[in-house]
A and B are shown apart, each in its own frame.
Chain A
């Protein structure tokens, strides 16, 4: 399999295949490149980041081409920012109103599901929470995915959201 495209999104810049295409934030990217998927606004920050990164890599492929795509993602913060937001809805006994909409995003791997739903992908999906960004570790997991499930396409990479000023999505798309 060969890497056919890659994207890197940070608060400062968006690089698609090495070319700077934008310096906009995540919501502005959604409005510019997607704009017709209201569920985006219900997602947590991690999912929004992963969703828009995947969108920019997968939007030119047909449903048939994407059908057995594998999705393998990694980060170091898991869903911590959403975990904390949810905690804030239950921390005060006098104001105890657990939010179902926040609770459903208190798992990092939900982002793989959001991408799969959007692109009608039925391939293997997995999410790994690691100590740090480690390209060689990610590539070893991806190689293992290729050997065990033989997808025709793999979307893999790092998607980590700490704060609105500190996030990174760095995805690569591999294809036979």
Chain B
């Protein structure tokens, strides 16, 4: 799980252009939206694309998103249980 968390952090930094941030700057359990990293709605859409492209996960129920994208920890948990690749 630790490897997946680090991999997700690297992918988030890359796809969201979080310049000047490193893996160690992202708190695994901190909120990704609002406070924490302060991501916005476009970032949320990029994260959905990331899960589909990298892990073969297609989110079909938008209501799930809030819980899945709460933190890096929650994304890693969801990916580990639902990944297709």
B-binding segment of A7-15, A95-103, A130-138, A166-174? A95-103
A contact set with B: CB distance below 8 Å = 38, 41-42, 97-101, 104
Q: How many A-B residue pairs have CB under 8 A?
A: 29
Contact across chains for B19 and A38 when beta carbons are under 8 A apart: yes
CB pair A41–B45 under 8 Å, yes or no, is: no
With A100-B42, A101-B42, A104-B42 as known contacts, state yes or no: A41 contacts B17, CB within 8 Å.
yes
B49 partner residues in chain A, CB cutoff 8 A: 97-100
Give Cα A41 to B16, complex, Å. 9
With beta carbons under 8 angstroms apart, the residue of A38, A41, A99 that contacts B46 is A99
Rounded to whole angstroms, the CA-CA distance of A101 and B49 in the bound complex is 10
A100: B residues at CB distance < 8 A: 42, 45-46, 49
A-B contact pairs, 16 of them (CB 8 A): A38-B19, A38-B20, A38-B38, A41-B17, A41-B18, A42-B16, A42-B17, A97-B52, A97-B53, A99-B46, A100-B45, A101-B16, A101-B17, A101-B43, A101-B45, A101-B46
Could you tell me if A41 and B19 are in contact, using CB atoms closer than 8 angstroms? yes
In whole angstroms, what is the CA distance A98 to B45 when docked? 10
B residues 50-82 with Cβ under 8 Å of A?
52-53
**With the chains together, A97 CA to B45 CA distance in Å?**
11
CA–CA, A97 to B46, complex, Å?
10
Interface bits B7-27 vs A (CB < 8 Å: 1, else 0)? 000000001111110000000
**How far apart sit A97 and B54, CA to CA, in the bound complex (Å)?**
11
